[in-house]
Structure 1
Amino acid sequence: MTASSENGLWSALREYWAVCQETLTLYREEQQLLQNGQEYPAFLFYRRRKDLLPRLEKALTEIRRWRGQIRSGDPAVPVPGTELRALTDEIQTMLMRILQLDRDNRQALLGRGLLPADHLPKPAAQQPHYVANLYRRHSAA
């Protein structure tokens, strides 16, 4: 991988990792409030989630661009090395933890009467290996 393409891909993955880390921190804070029975500042969490969305979208767009270049087989952009794969594995693990925390937090909110039942995901999305199967399906494409 050329130095500039490697730096660009690393930069995109690090930005995505940072947004995922902030999201994970947000969901953990939310979980602690819900578990401790403290007052739940719904608008604050809504606002923080909403503020993360543009950064998440930007990082995802950049990663998709790199993914397209890698899959195109362009010799100027070789397949990423093991360090990049380790980072993507870490990101996937973090995403699965975020999804689990989100589900748990939604159930806690529902239990407190703060979330209408129709805001919960469909039962298919709560299957144990649902996220892993999604990754498998999309990585094979």
Structure 2
Amino acid sequence: MKHIKLLLVFVSVIIGIFSFTGGATATSYPSAIAWNNFVYGLSTEEIDIKDIGNQIGRIERLRTPMPKKNGESNDKPVGSLLFEINGVDTLDVIAVKVDDKYYKASPNGPLPITTKDTIAARKVIILIVSSFGVFLTLIIIWRRKRRRIG
């Protein structure tokens, strides 16, 4: 009975760890926008309107905790416009218009490639590994009980 309780605690801890790591909140992430297959981090630095070039896009969806597709943001309002900055490549920096102010956004890296298939595969791997751990623990408990009896 003692071993079963220990096993239940072990499984509960493992499940708790996996559920806790997936539950990040939007406030724990920096302000970001996905555009041109990059995640751009927003700064508080304002850009003068005379430096603003052509409109290149707009934010179409909010996504928490981080944007995963072009046109998504984790905290800027839907409809916020994206602009190029005169004399600067959009791969280096873009401008985001929020409440009649333009803010600088710099690329932090490429968009993560996560599809439903890769997420499902990760879940299957986690399930297999945790099941193997439970199975191995049960075998060890069973062998120890058998040694004590015999």
TM-score, with length taken from structure 1:
0.27
Higher fraction of helix: 1
Higher fraction of strand: 2
TM-score, with length taken from structure 2:
0.26
